[in-house]
Structure 1
Amino acid sequence: MSEQATERRIWSVRALVMNIRQEIETAYSDLWVEGEISNCRPAPSGHTYFTLKDGEAQLPVVLFRRQAGLLRFRPEDGLAVLVRGRVSVYESRGQLQMIAETMEPRGAGALQVAFEQLKARLLAEGLFDAGRKRQLPSFPKCVGIVTSLSGAVIRDIVTVVRRRHARLNLLVYPATMQGASSPESVAAGIRWFNANSSRVDAIVIARGGGSIEDLAGFNDEALARTIAASALPVVSAIGHETDFTIADFVADLRAPTPSAAAELITAAQHRIEERVAALGARVQRAGRFHLMHARQRYTRLSAEAVLNRLRDVVSRRDQRLDELRFRLDAAAQRRLRVPAQRLNAVSDRLRRQDISDRIAATNHRLQAATQRLQRAATENVAGRCTRLERASTRLDALSPLAVLSRGYALVYLQGGAGDGTLLRSSTDAAQGQTIRARLAQGTLEAEITQTHRDEANVMETSKS
């Protein structure tokens, strides 16, 4: 049996996996996959990892940060989605995975899903609670309007306000009400009015109707939190009566339309005007009724009887005034009598207790004490100076320096074992030793050349 030469190709794991990845990425570079999300894990890096599955298989999917930021909804477990992307191989684990480019929910649209998710999250946080919503001011002097200057909304609001409350001022913040920049523009208007809260009493966000895409800017989370954080009451007037946005739920009051918002902010003033008009009509009817009855009564009375009755009424009024005047005078006198008595008593006590003599005696004692203190201080200082002079004299007499100043000297040995020894006899030093003499001013060093001793004293002669 003959051997047949066969040529084998040996792959490294990395090379094989890379080759498979290239083949797969080439074959499945752009495709749509439908399935249900499970095991969804958002990473701190911003990437999102999840598994796409159906009843019989599953596929790992990675959604990188840039693509995840473009989604209008948040991926979560159990959500049926349609994912577009490419299939690849994760080399570190040799695992097949799909790299998603975009994703949209199945069934409801992406905007609707994002709306429901944000609504549920803010509801859980309590931003929709009725307890945190504030009442609109009943009689605002000025209202801030966040809207576009080019639309018909502002004209409708002005028309309604001028008809119902002509004295109400409107301050308009021009904002972008549609598109990607709309949420930040509207939020900037709310922040501006809050920074200038002394100029307005409430804020109205107004926009006309449109599709869900046109109103998507008012479903922004950052805008919702700005509305919730506003110190001024906010009225949301976005779209038509059937349109609902996140801003409507967060705002303190929702108006079905911008015109309805204008009616709401002028409702109290308009109701008062209607009430005043109704009361005015009632007053006129009552006045006419009483006037008619008065004419009927006065027609039965003569002019003299009417005049006498008027005189009686005036006289009784005058009498009542006189009585009240007398009572007022009596009460005033009673109120003033007690303070006057107290004042007189205090004046008498002050006159009896004249303090001028006390002050003079106190000043005299003070002057005498000051003189005694000065004399004592002078005597004390003089005594201390005398004792100091005496002590200085005794100290000078006992000082060695005073003896040296009279021509004497202190002689010490210099060097050797007896260094610094004071010499009292010539026998304490030997010829050739060095000595140091302490004078009144300075010192001298000398060498002993010869010593002399007599019967009474020892004389030392030194040569420098």
Structure 2
Amino acid sequence: MPQQIYTVSQLNRETGQLLGEHFLSIFVEGEISNLSIPSSGHCYFSLKDANAQVRCAMFRGHQRKQPFKPKNGKQVVVKAQVSLYEPRGDYQLIVEYMEEAGNGLLRRAFDALKLKLSEEGLFSSAHKKNLPILPKTIGIITSPSGAAIRDILTVLRRRFAAVPVIIYPVAVQGENAKYEISKAIGTANTLKQCDVLILARGGGSLEDLWAFNEEMVVRAIYASQIPVISGVGHETDVTIADFVADLRAATPSAAAEHATPDQQQWLNKFNELEARLQQHLQRLLRQQQQKIDWLTGRLQQQHPKQKLTRNQQRLDELEIRLKKAAQLRLAHDQHIIETTIARLWQHSPMSTVRRNQQQQTYLSERLITAVNTRLKQLNQRLLNASQTLHAVSPLATLSRGYALVTGQASGQIIRAIDQLKPGDSVITQLAKGHFTSQVDELFKE
């Protein structure tokens, strides 16, 4: 069978559509990290917990409506749409609203204990006990001075006043509350005076209701042989005791209603049908609302604003990368300049010039000394040679009265009369001057 081959762009586009269609609008809690707000005014960050993180983008239009300024390390709850950033293939959250998360530490402890007990099977429906249709005696574990006990007793009198009530007074808040509640559950099971227990208190914060999230209280409820109805807080309040109890009621008053039958059974039947009808209508309304949300999400995905928003996000990312690249390039060039300057100083010709100048001065001095010495030597040799030459010079002999005769024609020195004949002209050199004469007669000695 031939298979469809996707391009990367097609795969990312269809994946983004699937994510957007499946997660129309969700709430996510986590800690802000890697916060970045470029010049566009959009906000980019990661939302993380102890084991994972997800990238988030909150555009300027939504950010202006925020009651506080996001900071790294702040625990928040965001309302967001899941999308895929196609150019990079990363899935991310497009945040529409953000608020600070309260009781973060208690919430994490709540979730950890809930997960632990759920894995142990304490919340399994197989362990839930059925409530008696007509209880003989109802046990109430709550504060004897709170509003919850008054509400419960009022409802019990109205619904079935003949059922006896046993109150187990306990503290429902504070350090000792968990011990008193656990002990009361154990006492009721030991005495076996009642066949259904109502565990109740009024509403409050997560910290106020924490006694009903303590492990020892939850395990005491699980170990109880008497069915337990939890009616802790208001309808929106949820404790771990609600998960392990045999029945969870929205309020203490609702717990009293679940514990007793109504005298008007037909009215109860009508109420049941009314409740079922309301649930059915609510379900239909939810389905229609989901369909509207789905169509709205599809319409938003096809809107040109989405493409402009993605392009703006891409521009912001490129701006951040450009700034980082420019900073890295500047640091690199600065390092090269500093290295080059250091190398130039290492190879500077000034030291060589100074050494050559010193050597030139030294050689000049040596040359002058050598020339002077050589001149002295040559002068001395010249003087000695002059003296020697003067000593052997015929001029010196002439100065003693001798004369030097040369032939005028031949220029040769006349040493014997054999070199002359009468009539020859000769030149006679004296110590001072010379004269010419003619040979008249020759005499041999």
Superposition TM-score, scaled by structure 1 size: 0.36
Q: Which has the higher contact order (CA 8 A, sep 6+)?
A: 2
Higher gyration radius (CA): 2
